[in-house]
Structure 1
Amino acid sequence: MKKLLFTTTALALFAPMAAQAAEADQAEPSSEIIVTGTRQTGMKAADSAAPIQLIGTQAFQSVGQQDLTQVLAQTLPSLNFQGFGGDTANLTLSAALRGINPNDTLVLINGKRRHTTANLAVLGGSPYSGSATTDLSFVPTNAIGRIEVLQDGAAAQYGSDAIAGVVNIMLKSADHGGSFTATGGSNYENGGKTAATALNLGFKLGEKGFVNVTGEYKFHDYTSHGNYDRRYFYPDGTLKPGQSAVIVNGLKGFAGYPNVNNINGDARYSIYNLSFNAGYDVGSDAQVYAFGTYGNRNAKAFENYRAPNRVSGTTSTGTTVYPLPNGFQPQENIREEDFSLTAGIKGKAAQWNYDLSLTYGKDAVALYTINSANPTLFSMAQSASPTALTGLQRNFYDGQLSNSEWVGNIDISRDFDLGMAKPLTLAFGGEYRQGNYSITSGEYGSYAFGGAQSYPGFAPTDAGSYGRNSYAGYIDVAADPIAGLHVDVAGRYEHYSDFGSAWSGKFNARYDFSPAFAIRGTVSNGFRAPTLAESYYSSVNVGPGSTFGQLPPNSAAAQLLGFSKLKAEKSTNFSFGFVAHPLPKLQITVDAYQIKIRDRIVASGDIYGFNSAYNANNGIVSQAVQNALISRGVSLADATSYSGINIFTNGADTRTRGVEATATYSSDFGDMGKVDWSLGANYNKTEITRISPLPTAVYNAGFGQTDLLSASAKDALTTATPRVKLIGNALWNIGQFSVNLRETMYGSTSQHTVGAGDGLLYLQHIGTTFITDLNVGYKLTPKIRFDAGANNLFDKQAPTTRLQNDGSRPISGNVYNSPISFTPWGINGGYYYARVTVNF
C-alpha cells in the first residue's frame, strides 16, 4: 500500500511540469507587488530581476507545526532546518539558507532589520555552529500576511548578514476581522505532544488608521530517543559486570530503568507571543506607523544521567554519604524574553518618498541548571558534619545572556522621467546601529569548583558587557533604459567601531526577450560582521571526566594562544538564470549561483590541553591550552580524561555553487476541482578552498593535533546538509474540501566522527530520503475550517548512530540507538495533527 501511494504521488507531482517551492496562496500570485530586493515601487514578483519566492497563508495551513522555522523549512528547497542541538543549542534551533551558516541570512520585519538571539549555538562539528541569528519562534505565524524570500546576496542594499539572502516578513495590516486557530498534535512515537492556539484581530484606529494584533501560545513536550546507557549496559540492556552496588542499586531505582538517559530528544518548551502592527495617516501624503513583538519562552532539555557516586561526601566521623541514591539526570533550563519595537513615519514630500524609523530589539536568556548538584561543595559541607546533610541544593542560576540593538534608518527615493522605457528610480539613505552583548555571572554554587553537574554557570571571569556601533550609507539606481531591460546598481559603505569599514556593491539586470522568456543575473560583493556573541561568548562544559571551555576569540587568552580577533567575512556572489512562461498558467525559473566567502567564521575542532590517551608528557597535549583555561578561572579537577578548548575564528575560505529551480502550474478539472501544482529544487555544493593553520602554541604532531578543523568540522561545512533538496506540492480544491500533498526529497548527507572510545575515524552516511506530508481541509461554513494531516506521513525515522568496530559503544554519545543529529528531516519521525480555524 505504501509503495502504491508513493508511486501515485510521484506521478501526480511530476507529470504536469510543476511549481514553485513556495506554496503560493491563491490570493498572492506571482503578480503580487514586492518590496524586497528592489527600491522601485510597484515591482511584481514575476518581473523581479532577482529570485524572489512568496510564501502565503496556504503554506501555513498545510504545515502541522505552527512554528515559522518549520513553515520555511517545509516550503523552501534551499533552506535546511536544525533538527537537534546539544546543550543550550537544543533550546533555540535555527535554519540555514543555501547551505551557509544561519548568520548569513538577514531577517526583516516589514522591511526593518530584526535583532538576533543571545543564545549562541556552540556545537563543534555542526552545520549550525556559531548561529546567533533571529529567533523566528518569536514571530507569531497568525500575524503574518506573507513572506518574501530574496535568494540573492544583498549586502549592498541591506548591510551585514545578507550574504545568502533576505527573509522579509510582512505583518497583517487589516483593520477589521480576524481569525482564531487551535492546533494539537503528537509524534507517532518518541513523544512530543504539541498544542498551539492563536488569535488575530484587526481594528480601525480612528478614521484614518488601523491596528492589527495577534496573541499566540505554543507548547511542545519532550521527545526521547535511544535506549540503554553504554556506561552501565551492554547493547542488549543487560548490566555490565564490575559495577559497585551503589551504582547498580541506583540504576534500578531510577525512573524509566533500564532507559535511564533521556538526553537524545527535543526540549520541552512553552512560548507566549504578542505582536501588533499599526498605522495612521497624517494628512494625504504621510503615515506614522509602529509594530512590535513580545515573546516569552520557558524551555528545558535533558543532559546525561549521573550515577549516585557522582555526588558523595564523608561525614566527620568517616561515614560515606550518597545524597542522591538513585542518581540524577540534570536539565538545562532557559527563561527567555524577547522584545522588539519599531516606530516611524513615511510619506511623500515634493515628489520625494521618505521613510524614517527607529527600532529597538532585545533578547535576554536567563539560564539554569536544574535537578543537578555541585559535588565539591557538597563534599566540603558534608566533611564538617557528623551526620548526613539534608537540603542538598539541586537548582542553580547560571547567569544571563543578553543581546540588544538600536537601529535608526532613513530611506529616500524619487522617480525621474528621463525619456527611458520607465522612469529612473534614485534611492539613497543611511543607517545607524548600536549593539550590546552581555554575560552576567551565575550564583556561586553554579560555577565554583567545576560548578553544577552538566552545565556550570558563568563565572565572574566569563562575565562582561560589550558594545559597538556602526553607521552606513547607500545609493541605489534602478532604470529601464529600453523596453524589456531592467538594470539595478547599488553601493554601500559601512563602518564598525570594533573592526573597521566595509564596502559592498551590486549590479543586477534582467532582459525580457518576450512575455514568455527573460534572463536575469547579479554580480555583487558583501560582508558579514561577526556577531558580538561569536566574539565574546565564554563558557565551560563539564562532563564525566572532561572539561572543555569555549574561549572568546577577542579575549587576551585567545591572543596568547595565537588566535586573532574576529573580523568580517567577505563574499563575492554571482548568479544567472531565466524566467519562462511557455504556457498559460505555467511559470518556470532557473537560477545558478556561486557564493565565495573569505575569512569565514567557523568553529574550530576540539583543541586539547590534556588527554589521558596521549602516552607522552603525562598526557599534556598543550600546556598553553591548560594555562588559558586556568587563566579564565576554570578548574581542571574533573578533567581526568581530557580537557581543552573550542574557539570561533576566521579560519576558512569556502565556495558554494548551486542551482535553484521552480515551476508553477494550475489545472482546472471542472467538476473535479482545481489543482495548483508546484515543484522546487535546489542543488548546492560547498567546498573549502583554504584553512588557516593551527597556531604553534596548540600544535602537537605527536598527538595528531595539527589541523584547525577536524574531519567532522570540515564535513559540517560541506556534506552534513543535503546537496539536493526537492519539494513537490499538489493542492487540490474541490467544493468545501482541499487536499494538500507534499513530497520532499532530501539528498544524501554524511559526516565523519572520531570514536569516543578508540579514536578511530568513522563515517556516518544518510542516503537519499523521501518524506510525504498530507493535509486535508474541510470548510464547515465559509468561516469555519477543519484541518487534519501528517508531516512525515510514513514515519521515516532518523538513522541511528553506529557502534564502534568492536561493538562496545556508540561512536559518540552515551546512548545506544540514538538518532544521527544531522538527519535533514529531523529526528522525531512522523507527526500527526488536527486544527480548527475560525475567521470573522
Structure 2
Amino acid sequence: MVIALSSPAAVLAQTDPQAASATDGAAIIVTGTRATGVTAAESAAPIKVLDSEALTKVGQPNLNQVLTQLVPSFTAEAFGGDTANLTLSARLRGLSPNHALVLVNGKRRHGTANLHVLGGPFQGAVAPDLDLIPPGAIGRIEVLEDGAAAQYGSDAIAGVINIILKEDKGSISGNLTAGQYYKGDGNTYSGSVTFAPDVGPDGYLNFTMFHRFHGFSQRGGVDSRIYNEDGTLRSDLGAAHTAMAAIGLPNAPYTNRIVGDSRSTLSTIMYNAGYDFGGVELYAFGSYGRREASAYENYRQPWRVSRSPVLGVAGEQILYSATGFNPREAIKEDDFSNTGGIKGEAGGFRWDLSTTYGQDYAKLYTLDSANRSLFINTGSTPSNFYDGFLKATEWTSNLDIAKEFDVGLVQPVNLAFGAEYRENTFSIGKGDFASTYFEGGQSYPGFVSTDAGKHKRHNVAAYVDLALNPIDMWKIDGAVRYEDYSDFGTKWTWKVTTRFDFTEQFALRGTVSTGFRAPSLLEEYYSSTNVGPTTAFVQLPPNSAAAKLLGYDDLKPETSTNFSAGLVIRPIPKLNVTIDAYQVKVKDRIVGTGSIFGLVGGQLAPSNGQFSGQDVLDAIAAHGNVLDPFVLQNGDAGITLFTNGADTRTRGVDVTASYPTPIGDGSILWSLSANYNETKITHLNLTDAFFAADSRSILENASPKYKVILGALLTWGGFSMNLRETFYGKASQVVLYNGTTPTVKSGAAALTDLEASYDLTPAIKLSFGANNLFNKKADTVPNGADGLPIDGGAVLNAPVTFTPYGINGGYYYGRINFSF
C-alpha cells in the first residue's frame, strides 16, 4: 500500500535496495535529504513511499493511473484537446504539471516535446511523460510533497517524484494484463518482463521490456449539427444535408468520435546497472520508448471540402467525400534517456559525478482528412498529411559531494555541496507541402516555415546543504542554491526544514522555502494553428516579433514561496498518522490567455481596449500563418499565447494513516490518504478581455478541493484482496456561451476499486479486478436554450472532460504475475 511520511534535502546515493516495508515508515529514503540513513518515518518533510508491491495492485498498466489511485494530491489528465490527447499529463497539489519535478534514480528526467496548448487545467504542460517509464522497472517511488527548488533547481514548486529503479539479482519477473471498459471499448493488453542476471555480489543489472496496446473509446451522444438528441435527423438541415443523410453517414448517428481515448501502441525498454570496483562504483541507467497513437477530431461534413459553395447535382463530383470524414491527429514518438556516472568515497567525502541526456522526438500527422484550398485549386488532395516534428532535448551534468563532520553535537553535521550544468533545446520542423498549403489539412494544419526553428538555452547552478541535530530530538536542514540562465539571468533560492520529536509518539515539522520555475522553451517559442469546424486560432509565441506588435513581453520565471507545518503521530504501536498543512504562493504564474479575437462570425472583432481586430489579424499575418478561408468568411479567428498573467495562492492539507491488523493466519492493512487543496488568484496582470471568467475558473475551480483514499489490503496465505474507496469533491468550469458565462459541473463522486489475487504456485499469481467497480460515469455537458452543448462542442451529452476520475466509466481486467 502507501505510506506518507517525511524528508529533508536532495539526492547523493541511490544504492540501497529497500529492505524495509514502505508501509511501516522504515524504508530508507533518498529524496529530499542529502543525509544518509534517513527513514520515511524520521523525515522532516512529508514524503510518500510507494513500494513495487503497491504499484502492481492497480489494474491499468499506466504510471499516471497508478499514482492517481495511490496519491491523493496527484491528478492525471482524463482527456486532452488536439495532440494533448495523445500524451496525457498529470499534476501535483492542484498546481501546474510543470511545477512537479520528476527524477529517476535522483537524476532529472527530460520533459515531453508535445506541449498541451488548449485551455484547461493542464494547459502549458511539458512535464516528463511518466507513461514512458515501464512500471515493471520500478523498485519504489518517493513522492516529496514539499517545495524543493533550493535542492533540485527549477520546477520543484509543488514537489518531487523520484522513481527508484529495481536492483534485483538472479531473477526473471513480469506480468501479462488484459482489460477493457464496461462499455466494451478501450481494450488494453500489456506485457512486461524484467531480466536480472546474477552478476556477482558487487554489481547489478536489470533489463525491463514493456509493450501495451490501448484501443479507442467513444463517449457522448450524437452530433448536434446533424441529429436531434434521439438520433433522428434535424428538421432544419435543408436539401444538402437531407441528401447527405440519405447516402448514409459513418457510425450514424454517432458520427462524431472526438470524445474518447486515443488508440495507441507503446513499447519501452529500460535498464539499470552498476558495479562496485572496490569503493568506486560505475553506474548507468536509461530508457527508450516508441509510441504510435491517433485520436479522432471533429467530424467534417461533406460540404466542408467541395469545389463549389453550393452542393451540385449527382454526378458532378464536386464533393471530396459524399459522406464527410472523421480526421485523426496522429503521433509517432521516439523518446530516450541515458545516464552514466561514477561515485565513491575518499577521505570521508562521498562524491557522485554523472551526466544525463534525454530527448523526446515526435512526428505529427493528420490522417483521413483533406486540404480544402488544395482541392478547390487543383481538384485533388491527399488524405494523409505530415504536419512536421517537435523535438525537445535536455543534457544535465551533476557533481555532488557530501561529508559528515563531528562538531560535538549529538550527531555529526552533514555538509553537502555541488554544481550542475544543464542545456535545453526545442525544435519545430516544417510540415509537408500539402499540410502547409493555405490552411492545411482539416483539423490540424502543418507547421509553416515561420513556426519552424530551433531554440536553445543553458544554465549553471551551485548549491550548499547543511543538515544537523542541535539536540537529539531536533533536526534542522537548510539549503541555498544559485542559478544562472543564459536567457533571463540569475536566481537565488533557499529552504529551511525542521522537525522536533517531543516523544517517540509525537513530532512537529515544518518548512519555509522559496522556489522558481524557468519558462520552458516550448512555452516561449511554440507556434501552431489550432482549428475547429468554424474556428482558427494561432498559438503565438510570446517571445516572437509578432507578439511584440501587440505589446507582449518575453516570458519571465515564475517565483514561489512555500510554507508547511505538520504533525507526526504514533499513538499506538504500528499506527502512523501524519497531518501536513501547506501554502504555496506563485508570482508571475504562466497562464494561457483566453481567445483574443480578430474575427467574430467573419466580421472584424471590436477593439478590446488594447488593440483592434485588425491588429490581431496583422500579427497573424506578420507571423506567417494562413487561416482557413471558410473560417475567415463565416467563423471566429484570432490568437492565444502564454503570458505571466497571474499570482496565485494554493492552500491545502495532506493526511495519511496506516495500521495493520492481524487476522488468524493473515492480516489486513488499513490505510487512509487524503488531500484538501484550494487555489485562488491573488493578483491578475491581465484584463477580462484577455483572461475572462472561463480562464479564471480553470485555475480556481476545475479541480476538486478534496480527494480521500481509503484502503484495506487483506492477505491470507496465498490469497489477497485489495479494496480501495476514493472520494472526490466537486469541480466546475465556467464556459463562454452566446455572451453568457454558464458553469459546467462535475459533482462529488465515490469510486470503488477491487482486486483479488491468488498464488497458483510460489512463482505465479493470478489477479482479477475492476477500477470504478460500480461504473460511476462522468457528468455530462448540459445544453443551452438553443439545444446545443454550452461548451461549444458538437457532441450532445458528452462527458465533462475535466472530471478527475476519467470519462470512460468502469474498467475490468485480469493479470498474471510471474517471478522466478
**Could you tell me the TM-score, scaled by structure 1's length?**
0.93
String of CA shifts for 1:421-462, please: whole Å, max 9, x gaps. Answer: 111000000000011000001001102111100000000010
CA drift at 1:588: 0.5
1:711 maps to amino acid: A
Q: Is 2:671 the partner of 1:682?
A: no
Q: Is the 8 A contact 2:399 2:419 kept in 1?
A: yes
| Matched position secondary structure for 1:803 | coil
Q: Distance in 2 between matches of 1:580 and 1:206?
A: 42
The aligned residue for residue 340 of structure 1 is 337
Q: Is 2:515 the partner of 1:522?
A: no
Counterpart mapping for 1:606-625 below 5 A: 606-612=595-601, 622-625=613-616
CA drift at 1:59: 2.0
The aligned residue for residue 182 of structure 1 is 176
Q: Distance in 2 between matches of 1:545 and 1:483?
A: 68
CA drift at 1:767: 2.0
CA drift at 1:808: 4.1
The aligned residue for residue 655 of structure 1 is 649
CA drift at 1:796: 0.2
| Matched position secondary structure for 2:651 | strand
CA drift at 1:759: 2.8
The aligned residue for residue 441 of structure 1 is 430
Q: Is the 8 A contact 2:606 2:613 kept in 1?
A: no
Q: Is 2:286 the partner of 1:292?
A: yes
Q: Distance in 2 between matches of 1:602 and 1:307?
A: 34
Q: Distance in 1 between matches of 2:417 and 2:273?
A: 26
String of CA shifts for 1:134-153, please: whole Å, max 9, x gaps. Answer: 00011000000000000000
**Residue in structure 1 matching 2:522, options 527, 530, 533:** 533
Q: Is 2:640 the partner of 1:638?
A: no
**Residue in structure 2 matching 1:147, options 127, 133, 141:** 141
**Residue in structure 2 matching 1:399, options 381, 388, 397:** 388
Q: Is the 8 A contact 2:604 2:613 kept in 1?
A: no
Counterpart mapping for 1:258-657 below 5 A: 258-283=253-278, 285-313=279-307, 319=316, 321-382=318-379, 392-612=381-601, 622-636=613-627, 637-639=629-631, 640-657=634-651
Q: Distance in 2 between matches of 1:334 and 1:179?
A: 31
Q: Distance in 1 between matches of 2:814 and 2:727?
A: 25
Q: Is the 8 A contact 1:223 1:267 kept in 2?
A: yes
**Residue in structure 1 matching 2:163, options 165, 169, 173:** 169
Counterpart mapping for 1:14-93 below 5 A: 20=3, 27-28=21-22, 29-93=24-88
Q: 1:19 to 1:70 in 2, by over 3 A?
A: closer
Q: Is the 8 A contact 2:597 2:605 kept in 1?
A: no
Q: Is 2:739 the partner of 1:739?
A: no
The aligned residue for residue 742 of structure 2 is 762
CA drift at 1:766: 2.0
CA drift at 1:514: 1.0
2:765 maps to amino acid: R
1:722 maps to amino acid: P
Q: Is 2:675 the partner of 1:693?
A: no
2:625 maps to amino acid: V
Q: Which residues of structure 2 form unaligned runs of 5+?
A: 6-17
**Residue in structure 2 matching 1:749, options 723, 726, 731:** 731
CA drift at 1:493: 0.2
2:703 maps to amino acid: T
CA drift at 1:206: 6.0
Q: Which residues of structure 1 form unaligned runs of 5+?
A: 1-17, 383-388, 695-705
Q: Is the 8 A contact 1:486 1:509 kept in 2?
A: yes
| Matched position secondary structure for 1:66 | coil
Q: Distance in 1 between matches of 2:625 and 2:662?
A: 68
Q: 1:34 to 1:454 in 2, by over 3 A?
A: same
**Residue in structure 2 matching 1:833, options 789, 813, 818:** 813
Q: Distance in 2 between matches of 1:226 and 1:381?
A: 37
CA drift at 1:615: 9.0
The aligned residue for residue 783 of structure 1 is 763
**Could you tell me the TM-score, scaled by structure 2's length?**
0.95
2:817 maps to amino acid: T
1:734 maps to amino acid: W
CA drift at 1:235: 1.8
Q: Distance in 2 between matches of 1:210 and 1:47?
A: 29
Q: Distance in 2 between matches of 1:242 and 1:605?
A: 33
CA drift at 1:805: 2.6
Q: Is the 8 A contact 1:37 1:157 kept in 2?
A: yes
CA drift at 1:208: 3.2
The aligned residue for residue 255 of structure 1 is 250
Task: Give every structure 1 segment of 4 or more consecutive aligned residues whose post-TM-superposition deviation is greater than 4 Å.
Answer: 18-22, 317-320, 613-621
Larger relative contact order, structure 1 or 2 (CA cutoff 8 Å, min sep 6):
1
1:333 maps to amino acid: A
Q: Is the 8 A contact 1:660 1:683 kept in 2?
A: yes
Instruction: Say which is worse superposed, 142-151 or 633-642, in terms of deviation.
Output: 633-642
Report percent identity of matched pairs. Answer: 49
String of CA shifts for 1:264-292, please: whole Å, max 9, x gaps. Answer: 00100010000000001122x11000000
1:298 maps to amino acid: E
Q: Is 2:217 the partner of 1:223?
A: yes
Q: Is the 8 A contact 1:25 1:56 kept in 2?
A: no
CA drift at 1:807: 2.5
The aligned residue for residue 794 of structure 2 is 814
String of CA shifts for 1:244-267, please: whole Å, max 9, x gaps. Answer: 545434445222111111000010
String of CA shifts for 1:2-59, please: whole Å, max 9, x gaps. Answer: xxxxxxxxxxxxxxxx98469x998333111100000001011000000010001222
2:362 maps to amino acid: V
Instruction: Say which is worse superposed, 543-552 or 346-355, in terms of deviation.
Output: 543-552
String of CA shifts for 1:722-764, please: whole Å, max 9, x gaps. Answer: 1101001000001211000000000111111112xx2321112
Q: 1:794 to 1:21 in 2, by over 3 A?
A: farther
Cα root mean square deviation, aligned = 2.0
CA drift at 1:681: 0.8
Q: Distance in 2 between matches of 1:359 and 1:249?
A: 60
When the two structures are aligned, how many residues end up with a matched partner?
798
CA drift at 1:237: 1.7
Q: 1:693 to 1:207 in 2, by over 3 A?
A: closer
| Matched position secondary structure for 2:36 | coil
| Matched position secondary structure for 2:442 | coil
Q: Distance in 1 between matches of 2:161 and 2:218?
A: 32
Q: Distance in 2 between matches of 1:163 and 1:797?
A: 33
Q: Is the 8 A contact 1:360 1:407 kept in 2?
A: yes
